Amino acid sequence: MTTNTAGLVERTVRLPPVGLEGDLIIPDRATGLILFAHGSGSSRQSSRNRYVAGVLQRGGLATLLIDLLTSEEEQVDIKTARFRFNIPLLATRMLQATDWLRSDPATQELNIGFCGASTGAAAALIAAAERRSVVAAVVSRGGRPDLAGESLPFVAAPTLLIVGSRDETVIELNRSAQSRLQTENQFTIVPGATHLFEEPGTLEQVADLALSWFQGHLERIPNAE
């Protein structure tokens, strides 16, 4: 565990039961914690997730970026794409990480939010439906919430769906998923952005939207009934 010049406590973690690796960063007097779920073919080293995480940290939120696959699974997935669309497996890994956060002394008092990209958004929503009394908010960035399927009506956490205006297919998939959500939700389209928000200024908009959503909802846990 180290403390950097910005006053952030940084810690590399290995999560049970399969040894998932993650980077946990906790700012001083953190007001909540965001667990990231990366998209298909990505990892916790994603530059986009790390940028968003940095904005959240400066806003007073702790972050945990984890690899949803073990190193062995990643090697298989690179060659076969066997695991990246295994949404139930990815959701199980999110649940394992969530349960670990609730048990670790450094994080157990912090309300938890999920930030998911691409297929990771589906995994995050399924996990949120399973941990209704724990997950306080969800943000989907260019996500595939439609892949959460039958779990969508059971999500209690307020959910923000963010899609680029030029990501037309994913826009429609998000609209379909939004119609199945029965919790507080919002669908925001970032003008001029494609799927990965690579256009100048678009990822910055995503990060600001995510920070605002989490700051507005992380103080309370949704009714789990």
Residue 84 pLDDT grade (very low, low, confident, very high; cuts 50, 70, 90): confident
Region 121-136: what's the mean pLDDT? 97
Note the pLDDT tens digit of each residue in 42-82: 667 778 899 999 999 999 999 999 989 888 888 888 888 78
> How many degrees, rounded to 5, is the angle at CA 144 between CA 18 and CA 142?
105
pLDDT recorded at residue 219: 77
| 0.75 exceeded by pTM | yes
Q: Which residue has the tokens 């702790």?
A: 62
Q: Which of 15-19, 43-47, 76-80, 111-115 has the lowest mean pLDDT?
A: 43-47
How far is C-alpha 140 from the geometric centre of its chain's CA atoms? 7
% of the chain surpassing 90 pLDDT: 80
Pairing of strands 112-117, 62-66: unpaired
pLDDT recorded at residue 93: 95
Region 95-118: what's the mean pLDDT? 96
List, in sequence order, the alpha helices (H) in the chain.
Answer: 47-58, 71-80, 87-103, 119-130, 168-178, 202-217
Question: Which fold, 2-217?
Answer: Rossmann fold (3.40.50)
pLDDT recorded at residue 28: 93
Q: How do the domains of the chain map onto residue ranges? A: 2-217
